[in-house]
Amino acid sequence: MMSKVNNALGVLVAALALTLGLVSPALATPEHIPTAADARSHLSTLLVRADGSMTGYSRDKFPHWITQSGTCNTREVVLKRDGTNVQTDSSCAAVSGRWYSPYDGATWTVASDLDIDHVVPLAAAWRSGASTWTTSKRQAFANELYWPQLIAVTDNVNQAKGDQGPEKWLPPLTSYRCTYARMWVEVKYRYGLSVNSAEKSTLTNVLGGC
């Protein structure tokens, strides 16, 4: 609990430093994030329709975390990618390192304080087209390492996000919202997922300010 309180103070300090221009926000760690111009272009091509039903949805229909190589699963690969000086044990579990959560500006040194966020949540994907996919495609989506779908972030921030789209939830750190919108659009574009009208309106507004 104390670590959470101390971290909250750290978030406030980081936010103030960003506001005063004393530090630069950390770059997003996922690769293949489009430019704002490309994201706006991709957004314009997405099908706009009301969200589909959640009938039949289960996280088990999106198998994760799968083994990527050796004893390393997708979670451990992302922790290694997104952290600094990450050390792992023989089972590939991260035992030390330092992680910056771009959603809220927090820094962590214990891997269990981090969740691996699906930028486009599995349930949100289900509502926007994934309900018709094969299990194999849903597995690929849930473990996507090429397009910007996975990122290590503060666990309770990820839990507060839940399965909400950007029309209902955006990263608390406002300086990261442009990057988040670009990632969201790219994932939906690459996987052929739809957007609802409120979602598109929010993304258009955010991208317009990039």
The residues spanned by each domain of the chain are 2-208
Q: What tens digit of pLDDT does each residue of 19-75 get?
A: 333 333 344 479 899 999 999 999 999 999 999 999 999 999 999 999 999 999 999
| Total-model pTM | 0.86
When pLDDT is averaged across residues 151-168 and rounded to a whole number, the result is 98
Which pair of structure tokens corresponds to residue 210? 């990039």
Please state, in angstroms and rounded to a whole number, the distance separating the CA atoms of residues 157 and 166: 14
What is the C-alpha R_g of the chain? Answer: 17
Q: How confident is the model at residue 135 (pLDDT cuts 50, 70, 90)?
A: very high
Specify the pLDDT at position 29.
Answer: 75
